[in-house]
Structure 1
Amino acid sequence: MHLETWRPYTLAYPGIVGLAGAVAGGGPVASAHALIAACGPMLGWLGGHYLGDYYDRDLDAIGKAQRPIPSGRLAPGTARACGLLAVLAAGGITILIAPLLVLVVLLALAGIIAYSKVLKGRHIWGNAVRGTLTALAVLYGAAVAAPPGEPPSWRAVPIAVVVLLHDTSTNLIGTLRDIDGDRAGGYRTLPVQRGPRFATRTAAVLYTAALLLAAGTAVPAAHPAAYLLLLLAAAMGVQAFHPLLKAGAHLTPQRALRGHEVLVGERLVLAAAVLAGAWGPIPALGVLLPLLGVSLVTQHRMREKHELPPQPITDVTDRPAAHDSFGSSAGPGRQ
């Protein structure tokens, strides 16, 4: 049940993004700093999974009753405690390098709660908050790697913008598989309000902007292999988006999930392009290949059972109000 909550097919992504921020300056990065640049965002991401599932437990009871909390296999209080412990662990290792960076960890925690409790069901704003949280991982990694007394490298900024655009896009694609459940739960996501065709096109525009910015500014040109990885990421993006755009208004949850699965692997390749530009192809591939293998294998074995409801979702007119960690009502659909 905990392994399901961890979603191991996504867990490496914030780590490689934090590492991309750490190498953005182009200078050498101490091994301990590189490790914290990767592990801090991963722990925060893990905490976000637990806390997100805690706050989404009423919605999941409608659309994904097989998940650990609504199925009764994981107590809500346990999920909340594990989420907070993961974030505290991220703060703890951050103090070892740069105590002031704990403020970034606290900001990320606030963003996780705001996304889960308020913004997830508010048009595209929830998707943008998710993108912002991952962009923070880039800046976190750059700050961890910065020499004492010096600011993070400005070269991390375009990488952070790429990640913001890219993750807003991929998170929006992720909502396409949940249209029926979100509508039943009262969530006003972009696909619920404007339909899957409009949402897919919006995501495609954001994704294209992210790749163009990556090619122009974010991927260092020191090693040509970086651009080969960027081209591979673009090819995977086409593979993901083409069936979704072709389906239009007739998009099924299964096809939406397949597209998002490709993008989960693609974003690892995109982050590795930044690593290749700074380190060269061999170290970058040494990081990418095992992470990509774990992501593909665990997605194949775990993801469909976790993401897709076992039976069709019916509309819900009366459901219990969600409760936050202090016991107060969050309101139907968190609108």
Structure 2
Amino acid sequence: MAAPESSPTTSALRAGLRAHVETWRPYTTCYPALVGAAGAAVAGGWGVPALAAAVVPALGWLSGHYLGDYFDRELDAISKPQRPIPSGRLSARAALGGGLGCAAAAAVLALLVNWRAVVLVLAALAGIVAYSRFCKARGLSGNLVRGALTALALATGSLLATGGVTGAVLVFALVFLVHDAASNLVGTIRDVDGDRAGGYGSVAVRRGVPAAVRIAFGLYAAGLLAVLAMSSTMLEQAPYYVFTTLAACAGTAAFSLLFEHIRAVPPRKALRAHEILVAERLVLAGALIAGSAGWWAALAVLVPALVFSLGTQSALRGGHEFPAEREAARP
């Protein structure tokens, strides 16, 4: 017996839900949650307080995706017409509403836990708008602003869990700023043609792909060295070193792929390098949790995060980054 056909209303609801899910980029949403939890752990607030420390940055991250797609809708119409807004599957108004709604939810939750954290949430919202509306098209400054949003997530986690931000958290916040600036810069390498066509002056557009790869690697290496130098602040140094080493191995694999094709990095290779960094940065956040709360606390959050992130990335990311006809034509 044939399955009943879906009604037009049901089909429309499914298409709308998928458009929202694609906008969320679920393969990235575990990262801000782990960074917030890491801020809580480094500050000594592991346990129940880490829940709000994880949820608030994750809501802010979702807000950033909605607002980023809202501000980038004209650029995406040129280079990525398959994305939800330019394809017509998600209206610009819905994206703006989703972004403001997630930001409001993050602010309300922060207010309920520690009103001072609302200041950081508002700072993150300002950073999201500044990055998407002004800085993204202006080279390295955009990458640094993007990294600063992760630094704020770490500080927010600390403040929500313990009521303060320790010196160690501030240092790690700078580390994540540099690290995520590098990751964001790698992410722009696959978009050179589209950014150039849309008038976006990324580092790769202004200075060429080889310079972008070298600058990204320099930022990444500086962040990694700082992470290693911070081992003395960890209560559990052995798990901290193990997780940091795993992150370094993944980062080395990502940049080896880029340096192998440095003269002209194919978009698919650049995307692959960034996909590896998606896993690497989860492990790096896990290193802070492992060093502060031990092996089992880190594994309990990191393993599900990796499974979910890598699984959804495999299922969704290719179609989100490349038009269907380009995907069909690639070997």
TM-score under structure 2 length normalisation: 0.90
Matches within 5 A, 1:36-115: 36-115=52-131
C-alpha distance in 2 between matches for 1:186 and 1:59: 9
Cα deviation digits, residues 185-205 of structure 1 (max 9, x gap): 000000001111110010001
Residue 222 of structure 1: how far off its partner (Å): 2.0
Q: Does 1:18 align with 2:44?
A: no
Percent of aligned positions with the same letter in both sequences?
49
Of 225, 244, 251, which residue of structure 2 is paired with 1:230? 244
1:2 counterpart letter in structure 2:
H
Residue 159 of structure 1: how far off its partner (Å): 1.1
Give the secondary-structure state (helix, strand or coil) at the position aligned to 2:307. Answer: helix
Q: Does 1:152 align with 2:165?
A: yes
Give the equivalent residue in structure 1 for 2:269: 255
Residue 311 of structure 1: how far off its partner (Å): 5.2
Aligned residues: 307
Give the secondary-structure state (helix, strand or coil) at the position aligned to 1:265. Answer: helix
Cα deviation digits, residues 207-244 of structure 1 (max 9, x gap): 01111100111672524011111100000011100010
Of 150, 153, 177, which residue of structure 1 is paired with 2:190? 177
Note if contact 2:67-2:95 (Cα within 8 Å) is conserved in structure 1. Answer: yes
Give the structure with the higher percent helix: 2
Q: Does 1:293 align with 2:300?
A: no
C-alpha distance in 1 between matches for 2:127 and 2:165: 22
Note if contact 1:52-1:112 (Cα within 8 Å) is conserved in structure 2. Answer: yes
Give the equivalent residue in structure 1 for 2:223: 210
TM-score under structure 1 length normalisation: 0.89
C-alpha distance in 2 between matches for 1:115 and 1:127: 8
Matches within 5 A, 1:19-34: 19-25=37-43, 27-29=44-46, 31=48, 33-34=49-50
Residue 155 of structure 1: how far off its partner (Å): 1.4
Residue 161 of structure 1: how far off its partner (Å): 1.1
Give the equivalent residue in structure 2 for 1:121: 137
Taking a change above 3 Å as real, the CA distance of residues 187 and 28 of structure 1, as seen in their structure-2 partners, is closer
Cα deviation digits, residues 284-305 of structure 1 (max 9, x gap): 0110000001111111111011
Residue 30 of structure 1: how far off its partner (Å): 5.0
Residue 310 of structure 1: how far off its partner (Å): 3.9
Cα deviation digits, residues 76-117 of structure 1 (max 9, x gap): 000100110000000000011111221111111111111111
Give the secondary-structure state (helix, strand or coil) at the position aligned to 1:225. Answer: helix
C-alpha distance in 2 between matches for 1:36 and 1:213: 27
Give the equivalent residue in structure 1 for 2:155: 139
Note if contact 2:34-2:54 (Cα within 8 Å) is conserved in structure 1. Answer: yes
RMSD over aligned Cα atoms: 1.2
Give the equivalent residue in structure 1 for 2:323: 309
C-alpha distance in 2 between matches for 1:249 and 1:195: 9
Structure 1: where are the runs of 5+ without partners?
A: 313-335
Give the equivalent residue in structure 1 for 2:25: 7
C-alpha distance in 1 between matches for 2:278 and 2:45: 29
Cα deviation digits, residues 158-179 of structure 1 (max 9, x gap): 2101100100000000000100
Note if contact 2:37-2:46 (Cα within 8 Å) is conserved in structure 1. Answer: no
Give the secondary-structure state (helix, strand or coil) at the position aligned to 2:263. Answer: helix
1:16 counterpart letter in structure 2:
L
